[in-house]
Amino acid sequence: MPEYRWPEIGTTSLIGKRINRVDGPEKVTGRAKYTYDLKRPGMLYGKMLRCPHAHARILSIDTSEAEKLSGVAAVHIVQEPGTEIQWAGDDVVAVAAVTEQITEDAIRRIKVEYEKLPHLVREEDLAKAGDRVKPFTEQVTGDPDQAFQAADTVVVEGEYGLPVVTHCCLEVHGQVAEWEGDRVTIYPSIQGVERVAGQYAQALGVPASNVRTLMQYVGGGFGSKVAADRWGTACAQLAKKAGKPVRLMLERKEDQEVAGNRPSDFARIKLAATRDGTITAWQSESWGTGGPGGGGSPPIPYIWQIPNQRKIHSAIATNCGPARAWRAPNHPQACYLTMCPIDDLAAKLNMDPLDLVVKNVSLLGPRAELYRQELAKAAELMEWKKNWHPRGDRSPGPMKRGMGLSLHTWGGGGHSSECQVSIHPDGSVEVSLCTQDIGTGTRTVLTIVTAETLGLPVEAIRLNIGDNRLPPSGNSGGSTTVGGVSSSTRRAALNALEQLFLTVAPSLGVSPEQLEAVGGQIRVKGDPTKSLSWKQATAKLGVASIKEMGKQPGPQPNPGELTSSGVGGVQMADVSVDVETGVVKVNKIVAVQDCGLIIDMKTAESQVYGALIMGICYSLMEERVMDQLTGRMLNANMEFYKLAGLADIGELVVHMWTDPEQQRRGVIGLGEPPVISPGAVIANAVASAIGVRVPYLPLTPPRVLAALEKGGMV
Amino acid sequence: MRDQKNKPTSDKRKRGISRRKFLKGVGLGSGVLSSGILGGPLLPEASAVAQAAEVEVAGPTPAPIELTVNGQRKNLRLEPRVTLLEALRDWLDMTGAKKVCDRATCGACTVILDGQPVYSCSVLAIESQGKNIQTVESLAQGDSLHPLQAAFVENDAQQCGFCTPGFVVAAKAFLDKYPNPTREQARLGLGGNLCRCGTYAGIWKAVLEAATGRRDSQRGIGQGGGSNA
């Protein structure tokens, strides 16, 4: 059995280098076919009639006029009369017709009567939430009361919060469904091609063996695309009724209202330190909503192991579309609710927040030393010590400049994964596993791992993914994909190579252990003159291909394994704020990020750039705006639900932390960690610039101006 | 005839419909649209419609429509409410342009119409007749990428890739107009498209590099300076 290790540091020809995304050409030419682009023979277009009320009971449904319309092929009632609807936009009736336009006409002909019920859609004021508040148990550590009252203690108190934001994937949720007898093929837009098949089987009442799921490209997921969803089942049912394939993609408005969001979190926080800056006590009363279910509790204080704590969280059940995992679930909220008070504490102590964090670095747990080093690197890249000033930029003119910092953590250990590597007699190589590339570079990583292991160029590798008949490799969520699939692929490739060595060793007159695969050759270690080209070697297989499996069991606790879990990361931001208009401009963000062994430096950096930009979006612009009167989302679109554009991003500096110690940790996921800190760094930089805390994200001009009016330096 | 024509309009007005849905719903010929509604009042008076009705009126039933896409004539029968984006995607199976916001905000549907970049989700197919429609599908020649596309790949200016074709087309139109952009011009000139994965850093570099590459290829790299030397 081969030894399952990554190659020695410094010996690789591909791993860790800057390799182009292998599906880049497909994407830039528009040839990449996403679910929304599929057109199956005779395909119909599906749409959904949705409930216009935030809380209502369906009394009656009349679809007769829709069914009479020429071109309508199937009508399917998704939720029957008597059902209590818990959020506006929930699915009621699905329709399929020969064109999208006729489907729209049919939807307008359906009559539904509702009994409206009382609703709550806003949660930022805890006092108005009434019986919708579900308090969690209070948690106490140490003796917070004594710590807050101790002599020589400095205490800051404040309220902080982040609103609900949506995923706003550019490809809306949806799928194509096609039946052949009692077998169904689903083309989903999904983060889990393998797992979603089982969900369809269960929902449709067909054997799991009858469900095929296929997907090559997905236009964004960010955590929101892991379920078959009611609209997926409805699409399959329409296709069954019509006897034709149906494509049902959500409208943008629907996607914004019902297809997932990140829960809000608000908190009243008290934080104490001794006069010399030693953090001693934390108290928080927090609340937030993830929709009708209320939602979970953010892990605060985030990372900091403060000795004395009292905290209580309340979940508020609202009549809004339910939350879904949003890139690093709960972490951006917890990070913001922790790092902002720490910054305010530094201001009150009249300390540089960098000094306060470094002074208390021992409270940062097992990665304290790594954080200290990453802080030093980030400070160097930001020229923090040269540029830092006490809170409030005193320079003349309306433009005020400031800096903020934050740190974060995430797991990211690889999930279980199985992979098959085939070496064919003609020299071609196939890698097969049911994973998906959600834009993170999974295809590229798998190609690099196989090519490196077999000593071949990336062009020599053919990769098969996105088909539930391939070996199972789980969902792409929680940054667990890269560790899992790179490890199973490394194992399978090493196993396949071992078989090839066994076949060719006799012809080179050595034992298999003496062989290595380098530069397109199978050669004797230490004697490069004794070699076979790759094709000469594989020709010796005769007619039988090598097909070897690699099984990765999941995250491994020991160092030196192929994947492990747990990363840090430090960020700093430099912003300018116009105190006359309230407009915040990001000048620069520095991100220092560790993530174990990096397979492809180019796509890894892209993950961090992307996370910073997504962070700028939620820090400055994104907010789901609910209207309590109508119970509807007011900005369920992309013109009033704002995303940053190219002109909004400033200078982004990404520094991947790649010391040998990190590389020995194996491959660890990267998608989530860098999206955690931007809210805190940008908000802290704004406080540093204008001398006053803007408590709530996003930092829109009205919020900045309100904070200035309340207590600023204008 | 007129009753028929007005039906979808009044039907939709009752539902508090948007301006764009109105444009999609109303079955008017191109002459009326370009001469009045887009630049004028949101809802024309009935009399204005009656006066304008002297020009040819199409719809609401499917009408013959001829589009010139990437130099090729395509003959379709489409309801006049069908947008150019829908015609390209659902009738011609040219799916490089994406439907994302469907409201002229994000640019994922960008195509070039008579040399100008447009949001094809907000242009009616019937309005695009007689114009030269250029889509992302026209840029690469077989496996040989357009230099701008190559620069996108080299600078990893894509992640999920859903916004990418729209960005490529918008960038092409931008460089056609500003062959030597400054960083600041590129920053502002590419502001009509949105990306959710956050690929702007790579896009910005790619566009500037493609412009430089274009200059270099015009004067020849390493030839001792450009035409000013």
**pLDDT classification of B9: cutoffs 50, 70, 90:** very low
The ipTM estimated for the assembled molecules is 0.96
Task: Tell me: do A538 and A574 sit in the same domain.
Answer: no
User: How much is the pLDDT for B220?
Assistant: 40
Q: Which residues of A touch B96 (CB under 8 A)?
A: 29-31
Residues 528..567 of A with a Cβ closer than 8 Å to B: which?
A: none
- For residues A361 and B46, which has the higher predicted lDDT (pLDDT)? A361
A176 touches chain B (CB under 8 A): no
**pLDDT classification of A555: cutoffs 50, 70, 90:** confident
Q: Which residues of B touch A101 (CB under 8 A)?
A: 79, 81-82
**pLDDT classification of B21: cutoffs 50, 70, 90:** low
A43 touches chain B (CB under 8 A): no
Helices B200-219 and B147-154, packing angle to 10 deg: 140
CATH number at residue A344: 3.30.365.10
Residue span of the structural domain in which A76 resides? 35-118+173-249
State the smallest CA–CA distance between residue B101 and chain A in angstroms: 6
Task: Tell me: do B91 and B127 sit in the same domain.
Answer: yes
Residue with tokens 């295809």: A443
Q: What gap in Å lies between CA B84 and CA B127, rounded to an integer?
A: 8
- Answer whether residue A311 is part of any domain: no
**pLDDT classification of A150: cutoffs 50, 70, 90:** very high
Count of domains in chain B?
Answer: 3
Task: Tell me: do A102 and A240 sit in the same domain.
Answer: yes
**A233 token code pair:** 């089942």
- What residues form DSSP beta bridges with A154? A273
Task: Tell me: do B175 and B207 sit in the same domain.
Answer: yes
Q: How many CB atoms lie within 10 A of CB B50?
A: 11
- Answer whether residue B174 is part of any domain: yes
Give the chain B residue nearest A44 (alpha carbons).
B90
- Answer whether residue A69 is part of any domain: yes
**A321 token code pair:** 């579309």
Cβ <8 Å between A639 and B103: yes
Mean pLDDT of A447-455: 98
Omega before B44 within 30 of 0, i.e. cis: no
E strand intervals along A486-525: 515-518, 521-524
Cβ burial, residue A651 (10 Å; 0-12/13-18/19+): exposed
Q: What gap in Å lies between CA B11 and CA B5, rounded to an integer?
A: 11
Task: Tell me: do B126 and B90 sit in the same domain.
Answer: yes
Task: Tell me: do A601 and A612 sit in the same domain.
Answer: yes
Task: Tell me: do A546 and A675 sit in the same domain.
Answer: no
Q: What gap in Å lies between CA A73 and CA B167, rounded to an integer?
A: 37
pLDDT tens by residue, A133-148 = 999 999 999 999 999 9
CA distances from B68 to B119, B142, B220, B225 (A): 17, 21, 35, 41
Q: Out of A464-473, A560-569, A633-642, which region has the weakest mean confidence (pLDDT)?
A: A560-569
pLDDT tens by residue, A270-316 = 999 999 999 999 999 999 999 999 988 999 999 999 999 999 999 99
**A382 token code pair:** 């930001």
Q: What gap in Å lies between CA B150 and CA B144, rounded to an integer?
A: 9
- Answer whether residue B57 is part of any domain: no
pLDDT tens by residue, B56-66 = 788 789 999 99
Q: In percent, how much of chain A has pLDDT > 90?
A: 96
pLDDT reading at B27 higher than 60? no
Contact at 8 Å (CB) between A137 and A297?
Answer: no
Which residue among B11, B140, B156 places its CB closest to the CB of A606? B156
Task: Tell me: do A103 and A234 sit in the same domain.
Answer: yes
A612 touches chain B (CB under 8 A): yes
Q: How many CB atoms lie within 10 A of CB A508?
A: 19
3-class DSSP state for residue A516? strand
Cβ <8 Å between A25 and B136: no
Mean pLDDT of B161-179: 97
pLDDT reading at B10 higher than 70? no
pLDDT reading at B226 higher than 60? no
User: How much is the pLDDT for B57?
Assistant: 80
Provide the residue count of chain A.
714
Residue with tokens 């969001």: A261
pLDDT tens by residue, A645-675 = 999 999 999 999 999 988 899 999 999 999 9
- Answer whether residue B224 is part of any domain: no
Residue A134: phi and psi, rounded to 5, are -115, 95
pLDDT reading at A447 higher than 50? yes
- Answer whether residue A154 is part of any domain: no
Single-letter amino acid code for the residue at A329: P
Q: Which residues of B touch A644 (CB under 8 A)?
A: 200
Task: Tell me: do B160 and B102 sit in the same domain.
Answer: no
- Answer whether residue A2 is part of any domain: no
Q: What gap in Å lies between CA B51 and CA A658, rounded to an integer?
A: 72
Q: In percent, how much of chain A has pLDDT > 70?
A: 99
- Answer whether residue A162 is part of any domain: no
Angle (CA) A225-A167-A630 rounded to 5° is: 110
Mean pLDDT of A103-132: 96
Contact at 8 Å (CB) between B22 and B9?
Answer: yes
Cβ <8 Å between B161 and A32: yes
Task: Tell me: do A548 and A424 sit in the same domain.
Answer: yes
Residue span of the structural domain in which B126 resides? 66-136
Task: Tell me: do A45 and A177 sit in the same domain.
Answer: yes
Q: What gap in Å lies between CA A691 and CA A687, rounded to an integer?
A: 5
- Answer whether residue A513 is part of any domain: yes
User: How much is the pLDDT for B51?
Assistant: 55
The enclosing H or E element of B203 equals helix B200-219
**pLDDT classification of A528: cutoffs 50, 70, 90:** confident
Cβ <8 Å between B101 and A638: yes
- Answer whether residue B225 is part of any domain: no
User: How much is the pLDDT for A130?
Assistant: 93
- How many CB pairs (< 8 A) connect A and B? 183
Q: What gap in Å lies between CA A316 and CA A294, rounded to an integer?
A: 5
Which residue among B89, B102, B203 places its CB closest to the CB of A646? B203
Mean pLDDT of A307-335: 97
3-class DSSP state for residue B77? strand
Instruction: Give the sheet arrangement for strand A584-594, strand by strand.
Output: A399-407, A570-578, A584-594, A651-657
Count of domains in chain A?
Answer: 3
pLDDT reading at A230 higher than 70? yes
Task: Tell me: do B47 and B99 sit in the same domain.
Answer: no
Cβ <8 Å between B160 and A439: yes
Q: What gap in Å lies between CA A396 and CA A275, rounded to an integer?
A: 32
Q: Residue B207: CA atoms inside 13 Å, Cβ hemisphere, count? A: 33
State the smallest CA–CA distance between residue A252 and chain B in angstroms: 6
Task: Tell me: do A540 and A583 sit in the same domain.
Answer: no
A670 touches chain B (CB under 8 A): no
Across all residues in chain A, what is the average pLDDT?
Answer: 97
Task: Tell me: do B211 and B159 sit in the same domain.
Answer: yes
User: How much is the pLDDT for B26?
Assistant: 46
CA distances from A693 to A157, A707, A711, B121 (A): 11, 7, 9, 42
pLDDT tens by residue, A332-353 = 999 999 999 999 999 999 999 9
* Residue ending a domain, choose from A214, A233, A249: A249
Single-letter amino acid code for the residue at A289: T
User: How much is the pLDDT for B41?
Assistant: 41
State the smallest CA–CA distance between residue B194 and chain A in angstroms: 6
CATH number at residue A62: 3.90.1170.50
- Answer whether residue A484 is part of any domain: yes
Give the chain A residue nearest B95 (alpha carbons).
A37
Residues 642..661 of A with a Cβ closer than 8 Å to B: which?
A: 643-647, 649, 652
- Answer whether residue B222 is part of any domain: no
Contact at 8 Å (CB) between A171 and A218?
Answer: yes
